[in-house]
């Protein structure tokens, strides 16, 4: 994984809140977290989705991560300014999606929105994503929810998730390859 350059960060952060609002509106019927959910957001950028998740779902724990420590700091600043202080349910830390620093089965939900292609050297590759998807499976509780969106190698992502036992619950496609999907991790038995 590599950190984004300043220009890429600017454009990603600029539309973060607006894009996140649209995403949650699209998900209205496709995602309902359990009460006091433990949510992990990978590749949070500025933290726009994090703020909306806090407001809409009131999770018991929201761990906001990004590979780039500058993005984690941007999220900390944004969330602190938006709420007047950092909400007690929020934890922020840098994290590499290929080696998540969390215990097995520690989250009810994982959000990976437009970030999986960043685990590759080039978005056209598909070498590191399967490892990141296995890590997501590892940190999700049985029957947990993955909310995923991306535009690169989406067919392979779906096949990998299905091979890990995930079941597709919701899907919305835009353009030929951009998709938003909700997957449920396997339940025991």
- For residue 165, tell me if it sits in a domain: yes
Query: Does the pLDDT value for residue 9 go beyond 50?
Result: no
pLDDT at 26: 87
- For residue 107, tell me if it sits in a domain: yes
- For residue 1, tell me if it sits in a domain: no
- For residue 16, tell me if it sits in a domain: yes
- Residues 58-108 have pLDDT tens digits of 999 999 999 999 999 999 999 999 999 999 999 999 999 999 999 999 999
- For residue 97, tell me if it sits in a domain: yes
- For residue 110, tell me if it sits in a domain: yes
- Residues 14-62 have pLDDT tens digits of 556 677 888 889 888 778 899 999 999 999 999 999 999 999 999 999 9
Q: Which H or E run contains 64? A: strand 61-66
pTM of the model as a whole:
0.89
Query: Does the pLDDT value for residue 176 go beyond 70?
Result: no
- For residue 189, tell me if it sits in a domain: no
Query: Does the pLDDT value for residue 189 go beyond 80?
Result: no
Helices of type H across the chain: 6-14, 16-26, 48-57, 69-83, 129-139, 154-163
Tell me what the mean pLDDT of segment 141-165 comes to. 96
What distances in angstroms separate CA 137 from CA 68, 98, 112, one per listed residue? 22, 11, 12
Q: How many domains does the chain have?
A: 1
Full residue range of the structural domain in which residue 73 is found: 6-184
Would you say the C-alpha torsion 118, 120, 121, 126 has a positive or negative sign?
negative
Tell me what the mean pLDDT of segment 151-167 comes to. 96
- The CATH number covering residue 55 comes to 3.40.50.150
């Amino acid at each position: 994984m590599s950190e984004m350059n300043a220009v890429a960060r600017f454009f990603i952060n600029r539309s973060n809140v607006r894009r996140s609002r649209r995403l949650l509106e699209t998900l209205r019927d496709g995602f309902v977290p359990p009460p006091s959910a433990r949510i992990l957001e990978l590749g949070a950028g500025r933290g726009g989705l994090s703020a909306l998740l806090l407001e809409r779902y009131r999770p018991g724990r929201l761990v906001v991560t990004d590979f780039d420590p500058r993005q984690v700091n941007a999220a900390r600043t944004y969330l602190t300014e938006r709420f007047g202080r950092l909400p007690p349910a929020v934890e922020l830390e840098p994290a590499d999606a290929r080696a998540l620093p969390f215990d097995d089965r520690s989250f009810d939900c994982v959000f990976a929105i437009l970030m999986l292609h960043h685990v590759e050297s080039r978005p056209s590759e598909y070498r590191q994503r399967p490892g990141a998807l296995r890590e997501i499976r590892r940190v999700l509780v049985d029957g947990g929810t993955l909310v995923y969106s991306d535009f690169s190698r989406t067919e392979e992502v779906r096949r990998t998730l299905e091979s890990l036992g995930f079941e597709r619950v919701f899907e919305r496609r835009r353009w030929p390859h951009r998709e938003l999907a909700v997957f449920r991790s396997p339940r025991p038995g």
